[in-house]
Amino acid sequence: MTLKSYDQLSSLEIDTLREIGSIGTGNAATALSQLLDREVRITLPEVRIMGYNEAIEWIGGPEAVTAGVLVKMSGHMSGIMLSVQPLEFVNIVLRSMFGTNVTSYEEMGELGQSALVEIGNIMISTFINALSGLAGIDVDLTVPAFTVDMQGAILAVPMAEYGGMSDYLMTIGGNFVCDGEQVPCHLLLSPDLRSLNFLLRKLGVSDG
């Protein structure tokens, strides 16, 4: 069956997407671990289908300020991938790479910002590489875009992009645990509906 909305996903399809999320975030964690030279694990990855306002609450409220790295996918699959990086995550990166700590985003400087963009980009690219290898598809990625702003507005980017098709936001992603410490860093994949249908067919869980 071809999906017309994200909330029509069957439990088998959700399980498959969760597996994709698991492999994707697992690979991203390995990349992050090598970059930071620290042990990085992942928590159980989640597939979430949420209403807009529910999604904003889930990420931790609309007004909290976070850094966001965004990459757009095209090719066999189109969609948006986001790395949402709260200040705790930023500090783990800065401590590991430069031995510094910041109390706000303004303090991190150009070097810190480049490091965040690069780490976001590497995690996203690793995730997508794992996914495209698994499904046997080609996905092109744009250069990463970066912003520091209210996370509600950052999360609204994939909502607005695919809002014409659905009242829901679907995200596949997970959190990271760094040296036993939970790191609040979300890696979120939001495919458009057509691509989601294509991906599920490629993975052999949709007969449409």
Residue 62 in 3-state DSSP? coil
| Max Cα-Cα span within the chain | 52
Residue 49's H or E segment, with its range, is strand 46-51
Q: What is the CA radius of gyration of the chain?
A: 16
- Does the CA dihedral 189-195-197-203 come out positive or negative? negative
What's the min distance (Å) between Cβ of 120 and other proteins? 12
Interaction of residue 12 with other proteins, rule CB under 8 A: no
Select 27 or 66, whichever has its Cβ closest to other proteins: 66
Binding track over 121-160 against other proteins, x by CB under 8 A: ---------------------xx-xxxxxxxxxx-xx-xx
Interaction of residue 84 with other proteins, rule CB under 8 A: no
Select 42 or 87, whichever has its Cβ closest to other proteins: 87
Give strand pairing partners of 84: 68, 186
Stretch that binds other proteins, among 27-35, 36-44, 68-76, 173-181 (CB under 8 A): 68-76
Q: How many CB atoms lie within 10 A of CB 142?
A: 12
Query: What are the residues binding other proteins (CB under 8 A)?
Result: 52-53, 56, 61-63, 65, 68, 70, 72, 74, 80, 106, 142-143, 145-154, 156-157, 159-161, 163-164, 167
